[in-house]
Structure 1
Amino acid sequence: MTASPRIERLRQRMAETGTDLVAIGPSSHMVYLTGVDPHGDERPVMLLVSQTYAGFLMPALNLDAARKNSDLPMIPWSDSDGPDAALAQVLEAAGIDRTAPSVVLDETMRADFALLLLDALPGARRRFTGDTVSFLRARKDEDEYRRLRASQLLNDKAMQAGFAALKPGVTERDVASVIRSVYLENGARPQFDLVCFGENGAFPHHHTGDTVLKAGDAVLLDIGGRLGGYPSDMTRVAHLGEPSAEFAKVHAIVNTAVEAALAAVRPGAKASAVDDAARGVIAQAGYGEFFLHRTGHGLGLDIHEPPYITATSDTVLEEGMVFSIEPGIYLAGRFGIRLEEVVIVRSDGPEILSELPRDTVIV
């Protein structure tokens, strides 16, 4: 059986990193490698990949559904028998020397699944997927780029619909409902909608609620949907009536921070340099203590995945990496401003996936 291109790339990476076995639970890692997205419960299910084998430990009741998405071998186990014998069979098929194998574990796998495997490999040297599966996922191929771009362009429409719904008397939930309808009407699934009126914008992860929009309020919208299996993410701001001089000043500072971060994005640069560029602008303007989070996060099958754009990240940026740039300033009791772009690293710098300006929308 010929392995998929992604399995083959994983094997190349395993050889480069001295990895004998990669064990993946029901997760986006499994979807990325095989297209299989099994029901996740307490029954152990794993994809095991070695240099000579790729196959599944699979609960019998999920077997037929899983086979619709993959022709990789699947060794089933039943509730009456338990998974131990089936796991031993998979490990034997994978040709794993059980004395001291180098094993990569899916960091999102249930702890009892991981311990089941490690108990079967008592001498295993184990680590997580950072230099194998996650390493590969951080570098998007052309199909992934197209899907991310299409999802982001739909997000532009959803954001514009959210702005159009702003008027005195509407609630945050009302606007969120309008945004969600745009995703659904265009074949996408809503993922999140942070609709923040007034002082709620100063909470970076505000939960959309029943706050009513009134004259003079600032508005922050952080929204995303999932189209073609891939998510979008974007933050923009609006104002009901002309904004104050301070709001305009803070918006300009945050936008300059975005531009500085964009200028720092290039192959070979460290992720920390992008964070430093954005953070430096805000700190120099006197608002450093009000920038409360990292500058960005990767996007792919997951809304948050590597690379992470933080002050401590040594990740070296490469072509094909996709991540957000989203500095913010949050003034408690007043307003918050965050401006977010999603970019892909190209040979000559970043390509922004959205086409929506970052200007404040005046309602």
Structure 2
Amino acid sequence: MASATGTSATSSGTARTSAPPLFAADVYRDRMRRAAELTRDAGLDALVVAPGPDLRYLVGSRAETFERLTALVIPAAGEPRLVIARLEVPSLAMSAVGDLGIEVADWVDGDDAHGLALAGLTARPRIAVSDSMPALHVIPLSEHTGATPQLATAVLRELRMIKDAAEIDALRRAGAAIDRVHARMGDWLTPGRTEREVAADISRAILDEGHTEAAFIIVGSGPNGADPHHEFSDRVIERSDIVVVDIGGPVEPGYNSDSTRTYCFGEPQADIATAYAALHEAQRAAVAAVRPGVPASTIDAAARDLLRSRDLADHFIHRTGHGIGLSVHEEPYIVDGNDIPLRAGMAFSVEPGVYFSGRWGARIEDIVVVTDDGCESLNNRPHELIQL
């Protein structure tokens, strides 16, 4: 264990894990090596990564952000170090830090933790910080470096956007788990119940089907379905309602599911059936457009152009998709203007929707993974307007 000044570890302290890391140590070692290379390529001296998805990706740590600084420092040249308050060192037990042999520089209240994080770098280092780092730490780091840090997004997204085989397998398991929840929707989603009651049943099922938590639940019935980010309320579900159900959460080792299906009770009105059929076609067109080399914006355009041809473009009020992995929303974003070429291993949602304010809404969402010649859908429940 290193002291607050960053000297070598002693035999009385260790950062070795007391539980198996999420992946093999070589996986994390390679991720940090590539992060250092990308840091150097970006003309930076170091990345400073706070607790959150980026830290979990790099070393498997589930540490949380507090007012005391915890940060993994990856220099463009040299060995990485993890700066952490001494009382938080036990949180490293559920990580690969010890197996990787990373220097742990611990500190106690009253020490200059931000200065410790920058020790060994140049006098005015060019650093980039992870998105999840709070201003509480960004500003002191700025004062030490004499410049506002850059965001590490451009570096870390190059790593996290491309999923390896183990990550894709984790996403497959998450997708299958949330499909099993949607398959049980008829057990809970019935007229006369409130959205909140249905959401409570869904929450329990999400856990029963292998998730560690229900990260989000949307049960949008009738006019509430026209709000894409409605959660649930005490509104009583009516037999004439169209109901949007958007659910997901993490499955170990922390990779997320996210799937939306739309439900009804009996035959829908003709105008609803027509609009939904167009939405179904738009979602299929967008999935069919996924292949390596095409810009992310092309997928958005495939859905949007189809809906525009049916005079429904004004009712599609959000992007077509978002990347997914350790975060529910991450790069790449499937939106107009994002011309990043798709590459094999990218995983993202394809989720066009149509929303009629005060009346009803609908959305169809699958997670797909780009393959060498197209894509694999990780959600396989029916895409039609599902009658219960």
> Shorter-chain TM-score: which interval?
over 0.9
Amino acid at match of 1:267: P
Q: What's the counterpart of residue 164 of structure 2?
A: 141
Does structure 1 residue 115 correspond to structure 2 residue 142? Answer: no
Q: 2:370 aligns with which of 323, 339, 345?
A: 345
Moved more, 293-302 or 313-322: 313-322
Q: What's the counterpart of residue 75 of structure 1?
A: 105
Q: Is the 8 A contact 1:162 1:176 kept in 2?
A: no
The total of aligned residue pairs comes to: 356
State the Cα RMSD in Å: 1.8
- TM-score of the superposition, structure 1-length normalised? 0.93
Q: Is the 8 A contact 2:346 2:369 kept in 1?
A: yes
Q: Is the 8 A contact 1:175 1:195 kept in 2?
A: yes
Does structure 1 residue 157 correspond to structure 2 residue 157? Answer: no
TM-aligned CA deviation for residue 98 of structure 1: 2.1
Q: What's the counterpart of residue 46 of structure 1?
A: 71
Identity of aligned residues (%): 34
TM-aligned CA deviation for residue 207 of structure 1: 2.3
Q: Please list the CA deviations of residues 114-136 of structure 1 after superposition, one character each: whole Å capped at 9, or x if unmatched.
A: 122222212x5742123211221
Amino acid at match of 2:32: I
Q: What is the SS of the residue equivalent to 2:72?
A: strand
Q: Is the 8 A contact 2:320 2:335 kept in 1?
A: yes
Q: What's the counterpart of residue 292 of structure 1?
A: 317
Q: What's the counterpart of residue 90 of structure 2?
A: 64
Does structure 1 residue 221 correspond to structure 2 residue 245? Answer: yes
The alpha-carbon distance between structure 1 residues 198 and 174, as it changes in their structure 2 partners (threshold 3 A), is same
The alpha-carbon distance between structure 1 residues 89 and 199, as it changes in their structure 2 partners (threshold 3 A), is closer
Does structure 1 residue 176 correspond to structure 2 residue 203? Answer: no
Q: What's the counterpart of residue 310 of structure 1?
A: 335
Q: Is the 8 A contact 2:138 2:149 kept in 1?
A: no
Q: Please list the CA deviations of residues 152-190 of structure 1 after superposition, one character each: whole Å capped at 9, or x if unmatched.
A: 111011112223322221111222122112222233121
* Alpha-carbon separation, structure 2, partners of 1:139 and 1:39: 25
Q: Please list the CA deviations of residues 282-309 of structure 1 after superposition, one character each: whole Å capped at 9, or x if unmatched.
A: 1111011111101100001000011111
Q: What's the counterpart of residue 118 of structure 2?
A: 91
* Alpha-carbon separation, structure 2, partners of 1:25 and 1:293: 30
Moved more, 333-342 or 70-79: 70-79
TM-aligned CA deviation for residue 191 of structure 1: 1.1
Q: 1:20 aligns with which of 45, 60, 63?
A: 45
TM-aligned CA deviation for residue 342 of structure 1: 0.6
Q: Is the 8 A contact 1:162 1:178 kept in 2?
A: no
Q: What is the SS of the residue equivalent to 1:190?
A: coil
Amino acid at match of 2:208: E
TM-aligned CA deviation for residue 347 of structure 1: 1.1
Q: Is the 8 A contact 1:236 1:338 kept in 2?
A: yes
